[in-house]
Structures are given as C-alpha cells and as structure tokens.
Amino acid sequence: MAQAKVITDQELKRALGMVAGRKHAARDRLALQLTHWAGMRVCEVAALTRGTVQGPSGEILEEWRLGSDQTKGAKGRVVYANSKLRKELATYLKANPAPDRSYPVLVSQKGNGQRRGFSANTLCQLINCIYREAGIAGATSHSGRRGFITTLANHSVGIKTIMELAGHRQMSTTQRYISVTPDQKRRAVELVS
C-alpha cells in the first residue's frame, strides 16, 4: 500500500480555501489543521474533547493529554499545540459552544438530530473527500500527519523529538513517515565541499 502524499503548503491552502465554501467550513478547517499542525491521527482528532484542550477557565492548553482510549495502541500521549493552532481552536470553540467539557471538539451532524462526535472512520472519509474535492491526488487523511513529521525533519528537529511528538514507540516507524524530495537531495549534495 502506498503511503499518503505529503502535500505542499500551496495544496493545503487550496484545500482550506475549498473548505471555506462548505456548510461546516470551520469544523472541516479545524479537522485539517489538527492533522497538519499537531500531527494528530484521525482517531485522536475524532476522540478529542473540550476538556482535553481547555483549561478550567476555558483557555486553550499548550499540552493535550490524550488517554489510552483516545489514541492508537492503548497508550496515552501528549499532543503539543502551537500558538497558531491554539488561536484557531479558541476561535472555533467560542463560535461553537458546548454544554460541558466532555463534549467532542468536532461534532458530526448525524445521529437523529443529536450532535455527537465523529467516528474515526467517518472523519477519515470526510478528510479524504476534502482532498479529492480540492483536486489533490494521492492525499489521504494521513497526509497531514506525514507532512507534520516531514516538516519537523526538514527543519532539523531531532528524530527522538519527532518520535515523541508523533507518539511513536519505534524510531523506525517515525523514519518511514519522512518524505524526501529531489530538491532536498540537490541541496544536500551542495553542502559537500
């Protein structure tokens, strides 16, 4: 099975632009941002609750502690949210209030009129559909996560740090996520004198 495409910044902007015209634009935009800017798995995004991302007074936390029920492999992990993502999330949550902290961050409109969270599979299908509609061939719900890991590697972040940010147990798993382009290879050989 081929790996998900690592999309360019321009392709992400195109997907976000396309999302802007959708019925649930803010929700769909945030779904993409959580995978691209925090490297979250789709199952983690689907399981994300307001209590995980917000402090007691409603502030968006820098560190989100995911329980083993919210992530892959029955092992919890910490997701670190950058300032850009925290700002987007604060704006989204303010515009979409919820009755309590157990409420999901991203809400599906299905379910007999009851607002509830996405299943991982349904959110995966939604993200895949967004990429298809944006005309980005080869992109899948895993593209954001691969892009997050590749971007960190391209900025010389240590592999151990990347491994921890990705929630991987094995360094070899993290290494498989990193994409290398011909341009990177050309720049690399120019370093040799």
Banded pLDDT at 72 (limits 50, 70, 90): confident
Kindly provide the b/e burial profile for residues 172-189, where b requires at least 16 CB atoms within 10 angstroms of the residue's own CB: eebeebbbeeeeeeeeee
**pLDDT tens profile 45-56:** 999 999 999 999
Q: Which domains does the chain have, with CATH numbers?
A: 9-144 (1.10.443.10)
Please state whether the predicted TM-score (pTM) of the whole model is above 0.85: yes
